[in-house]
């Protein structure tokens, strides 16, 4: 889940700042294991299968990409975006899975088959965000693609395709945009 990716991001960052090989090695191997165990070759994830929510799928990908971009400057081994596990899963495939939902070309009903008790409790309590059948909002993918544009500048067009939301870039989005990177 996303907490594993966030934990590895912190360990990797500390390892790079302090130049501690053991911490960097731990984070790199941890990310490889995370990719192997949390994602599938078709681009889906454990979060999609158990929670039935693209929101959680995205929140696991974002810290991975941020780490890969930022820490590969310190140690090239952190550049794991295109790394493919023995099972065939990769962060790249899992980001590509999100594209049609981020552009609005496909719609996705969230939470309809969640197996997680907390999700069901949130829905029963009336939390709008967790209601089964709630359509995924493309703008929820924007933070992921602000980072992912680093690897594929063409994805910046996702922000332009939004029919309902005006996009205001954050610093991350601006620095990874084709305006700056080309």
pLDDT tens digits along 106-158? 999 999 999 999 999 999 999 999 999 999 999 899 999 999 999 998 998 88
Is the model more confident about 174 or about 94?
94
Of all residues in the chain, what percent carry a pLDDT higher than 90? 81
pLDDT for 113 equals 94
pTM of this prediction exceeds 0.85: yes
Q: What is the pLDDT of residue 160?
A: 74
Token pair in block for residue 48? 């999609």
Extents of the domains making up the chain:
2-176
pLDDT at 150: 92
């Amino acid at each position: 889940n996303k907490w594993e990716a966030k934990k590895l991001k912190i360990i990797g960052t500390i390892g790079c700042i302090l130049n501690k090989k053991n911490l960097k090695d731990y984070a790199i191997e941890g990310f490889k294991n995370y990719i192997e165990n949390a994602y599938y070759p078709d681009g889906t994830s454990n979060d999609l299968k158990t929670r039935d929510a693209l929101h959680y799928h995205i929140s696991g990908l974002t810290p991975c990409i941020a780490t890969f971009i930022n820490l590969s400057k310190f140690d090239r081994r952190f550049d794991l975006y295109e790394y493919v596990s023995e099972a065939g899963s990769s962060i790249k495939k899992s980001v590509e899975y999100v594209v049609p939902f981020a552009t609005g070309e496909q719609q996705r009903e969230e939470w309809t088959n969640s197996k997680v008790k907390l999700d069901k409790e949130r829905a029963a309590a009336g939390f709008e965000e967790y209601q089964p059948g709630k359509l995924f909002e493309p703008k929820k993918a924007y933070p992921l693609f602000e980072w992912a544009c680093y690897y594929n500048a063409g994805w910046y067009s996702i922000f332009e395709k939004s029919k309902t939301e005006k996009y205001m870039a954050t610093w991350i989005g601006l620095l990874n945009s084709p305006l700056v990177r080309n």
